[in-house]
Amino acid sequence: MSSIPKAVENRGPFLERIEGGAAETTVDERLVALTAPMSAAAEQYRILLHRLRHIRSLRGDAIQGGAIVAVTSAVRGEGVSLTAANLALTAARSRDARVALVDCDLRRGGIARLFNMGARAGLAEVLTGKTEVGEALGRYHEGHLAVVAAGRAPGAESASLLAGPRFAQTLSLLRTLFDEIYLDVPPALATADAQVVAYKADGIVMVARAGETPREQVAAAVRQLSGAPVWGLVLNGVEPSRVPAPLPVVKGHLTSGK
Ligand SMILES: Nc1ncnc2c1ncn2[C@@H]1O[C@H](COP(=O)(O)OP(=O)(O)O)[C@@H](O)[C@H]1O
Ligand SMILES: [Mg+2]
């Protein structure tokens, strides 16, 4: 699996926001699922999404309500936030699922910046009892995508907050409201938070940087999450030339690409 949100044309990306008055918001151009949906990178996210949906379908009735997929990595900077956000956007664009993206990186959340959400209340405020989940949900894409930012650093230990009853209740509620819930989770080797969250998820997606993350670190991260179901590994930042370009669509038909 690879994802290559590198060569993105600059098209003034925006995302329609349906609550809070403002009609649209500018997002990070690396959210290629939105800014360059016909690119090879966006196609890779679609491949990832459909593989995850297939794994979920194999689980059948074992998952009650929406499925929770935690995206994490061995160390920081691998592209977890970007992958989780593109994955959630890809799922929401398919228009056949109600999708939530929740930033569980209470120490250094990256989702608010990607979606240009400002300083609105997020998961930290929910877990410390300062706000309700409903208040923290930013809704996009005709309501198909809901985003919860990390919020203000809670001051308390993030692992204990994530291990506490409020987080469990929040996930249960999200399962009733959404079909797919994607969690942006801090790195497994550097924090206890990753384990705490991973054990609550149905599936884990591990992100590694192509040519950078040492193999042993990825293996150590998987061991660290021992027992949690790893559904996939994303090799992020693969050279575009090493990934086949998607076939162009002409008048609704696939061509041979020549
Ligand atoms: N495939 C990629 N192509 C270009 N930039 C990327 C790619 N993946 C991640 N980045 C950039 O690298 C930095 C770290 O990515 P981020 O998603 O924040 O990582 P993490 O959440 O794992 O710490 C960000 O500036 C992000 O935009
Ligand atoms: Mg991040």
Confidence of residue 4 (pLDDT cuts 50, 70, 90): very low
Residue in 120, 142, 144 with CA at minimum distance from that of residue 133: 120
How far apart are the CA of 53 and the centre of ligand 2, in A?
23
Residue 81 lies in a domain: yes
Residue 1 lies in a domain: no
Task: Say how many CA atoms lie within 13 Å of 12 toward its Cβ.
Answer: 1
Residue 154 lies in a domain: yes
30 lines ligand 1 (CB under 6 A): yes
Residue 65 lies in a domain: yes
Residue 127 lies in a domain: yes
Which pLDDT belongs to residue 124?
Answer: 97
Cβ atoms of residues 105 and 81 within 8 Å: yes
What gap in Å lies between CA 191 and CA 117, rounded to an integer? 25
Residue 70 lies in a domain: yes
For 30, 42, 52, 74, 107, the CA distances from 181, given in Å and listed in that order, are 21, 19, 12, 21, 20
Which pLDDT belongs to residue 250?
Answer: 61
CATH label of the domain that carries residue 67: 3.40.50.300
pLDDT by residue (tens digit) across 214-237?
999 999 999 999 888 999 999 998
From 8, 29, 30, 238, the mutation candidate for ligand 1 (largest count of ligand atoms within 8 A of CB) is 30
What gap in Å lies between CA 31 and CA 44, rounded to an integer? 13
Q: What is the DSSP string of 41-88?
A: HHHHHHHHHHHHHHHHHHHGGGS-SSEEEEEEESSTTSSHHHHHHHHH
Percent of the chain beyond pLDDT 70? 85
The residue nearest atom 16 of ligand 1, judged by CA position, is: 79
Cβ atoms of residues 84 and 91 within 8 Å: no
Residue 8 lies in a domain: no
What gap in Å lies between CA 66 and CA 202, rounded to an integer? 10
Percent of the chain beyond pLDDT 90? 65
For 14, 61, 233, 234, 252, the CA distances from 222, given in Å and listed in that order, are 36, 26, 10, 13, 42
78 lines ligand 1 (CB under 6 A): yes
Strands 253-254 and 249-250: antiparallel
Q: What is the DSSP string of 113-147?
A: HHTT-TT---HHHHHTTSS-HHHH-EEEGGGTEEE
Number of domains in the chain: 1
Which residue range forms the structural domain that includes residue 212?
Answer: 45-237
Residue in 94, 62, 43, 27 with CA at minimum distance from that of residue 238: 43
130 lines ligand 1 (CB under 6 A): no
The residue nearest atom 4 of ligand 1, judged by CA position, is: 6
Residue 9 lies in a domain: no
Which ligand 1 atom is the nearest neighbour of the CA of 6? 3
Confidence of residue 242 (pLDDT cuts 50, 70, 90): confident
